A = this chain, B = another copy of it.
């Protein structure tokens, strides 16, 4: 019996989530390029490719290095760093090395950034494609849609191979109609940006968007590929946003109850394994599998405070666990939880538990 706390993957649910997303993309007629920052695992990347993903998205050069080195095992020879990198001599050399092993795309969102990238990677023996990042309303990185062509033209003039545009509709992480509104804003921004490239004589053959919360609203004609990350596992945020059900959650933290006071219990999983993400609209720091109304109401590094409902309920009051009981909790944000462990424990159907290495854990740079 593995000592708690640890992160456990439900293999049946994981594979069901992978095939459902692959089917949705096939039906839409868009390419699926999952974001590997969520799982950082060779074994999951391989399953995504096996289901028909055309490549992987990553967030950093370090993540790209891990998946480039694992290309034989995953079958993935096509990586996109969806980030407006500011490239130095050293990171430029790292990019050129990756581009020798796999097809590479990177983001740019400024003329200065494009010049930096060109200075370090535009070499006769390096082929690397560029997408211009658009701000579709999340207001993080990215240029306004109508400026995309200007950045693209400057990048092309500097010797880069500009193939399209991308955005991240992160403002879809919100309650109510946020998901639908962000998806609609994304379509408009990407269409305008694509037109801006055409106006500057550049063919936008890649129009890339999407996220797990907005993919339900994706329109076939507007995007050529989507990059959801969270969908293999899902998490408490996705459940609260309405983009996944509890039955589609494939990763939990297995914890031991160490303390109980009436309807409140303390378990041995804290922010150092669940992550501390808690957006303003979230009802807590996480949920409890099998107790839909219980909430993690406080979090320390090695303690989660879980409050169970005490009131009458059609389904009957929740069974409140006692010290020594093991329960499974659902992290708010699975991407940051997975990044906190070296290995995921995989529970299969009838087979022995095995573990998968979080191969790209901590690859921040």
Copies in the complex: 2
On chain B, the residues within 8 Å of A86 by CB distance are 256-258, 268, 323-324
Question: Can you report 30 A-B residue pairs in the complex whose CB atoms are below 8 A from each other?
Answer: A3-B88, A3-B94, A5-B364, A37-B302, A59-B301, A83-B268, A84-B259, A86-B258, A86-B323, A109-B258, A113-B258, A140-B259, A140-B266, A140-B300, A140-B303, A141-B258, A142-B259, A268-B365, A269-B364, A271-B275, A272-B339, A272-B362, A276-B278, A276-B333, A276-B336, A301-B335, A301-B336, A302-B364, A340-B340, A341-B364
CA distance A5 to B303 in the complex (A): 28
A322-365 Cβ-contact flags toward B at 8 Å (1 or 0): 01100000000101100111100000000000000000001011
Whole-angstrom distance from the CB of A207 to the nearest CB of chain B? 21
Contact of A112 among B83, B84, B323, B341 (CB under 8 A): B323
On chain B, the residues within 8 Å of A116 by CB distance are 324
- Chain B CB count within 10 A is highest, among A60, A142, A268, for A268
Asked whether A277 is an interface residue with its Cβ less than 8 Å from the other chain, the reply is yes
- Chain B CB count within 10 A is highest, among A4, A110, A141, for A141
Contact A113 B323 (CB under 8 A): yes
Contact A266 B141 (CB under 8 A): yes
Interface size on A, residues (CB 8 A): 59
Contact of A1 among B90, B275, B342 (CB under 8 A): B90
Contact A300 B170 (CB under 8 A): yes
- Residues of A with Cβ closer than 8 Å to B? 1-6, 37, 59-61, 83-86, 88, 90-91, 94, 109-110, 112-113, 116, 140-142, 170, 256-259, 266, 268-269, 271-273, 275-278, 298, 300-303, 305, 323-324, 333, 335-336, 339-342, 362, 364-365
Q: With A271-B336, A302-B83 as given contacts, are A323 and B110 in contact (CB-CB < 8 Å)?
A: yes
On chain B, the residues within 8 Å of A323 by CB distance are 86, 110, 112-113
On chain B, the residues within 8 Å of A91 by CB distance are 3
Name A144's closest neighbour in chain B (CB-CB): B261
CA distance A192 to B141 in the complex (A): 55
Name A332's closest neighbour in chain B (CB-CB): B276
On chain B, the residues within 8 Å of A273 by CB distance are 364
On chain B, the residues within 8 Å of A278 by CB distance are 276, 278
Contact B83 A365 (CB under 8 A): no
Name A60's closest neighbour in chain B (CB-CB): B302
Contact B324 A141 (CB under 8 A): no
Nearest 6 A-B pairs (CB), nearest first?
A3-B365, A276-B276, A141-B259, A276-B277, A273-B364, A59-B302
Whole-angstrom distance from the CB of A208 to the nearest CB of chain B? 17
Contact of A272 among B113, B336, B341 (CB under 8 A): B336
On chain B, the residues within 8 Å of A266 by CB distance are 140-141
CA distance A276 to B170 in the complex (A): 17
Contact A258 B6 (CB under 8 A): no
Contact B302 A112 (CB under 8 A): no
13 further A-B pairs in the complex, CB-CB below 8 A; given A5-B364, A109-B259? A1-B90, A2-B365, A3-B88, A6-B365, A60-B302, A86-B258, A140-B266, A170-B300, A268-B365, A271-B277, A276-B276, A340-B364, A342-B362
On chain B, the residues within 8 Å of A300 by CB distance are 140, 170
CA distance A170 to B141 in the complex (A): 37
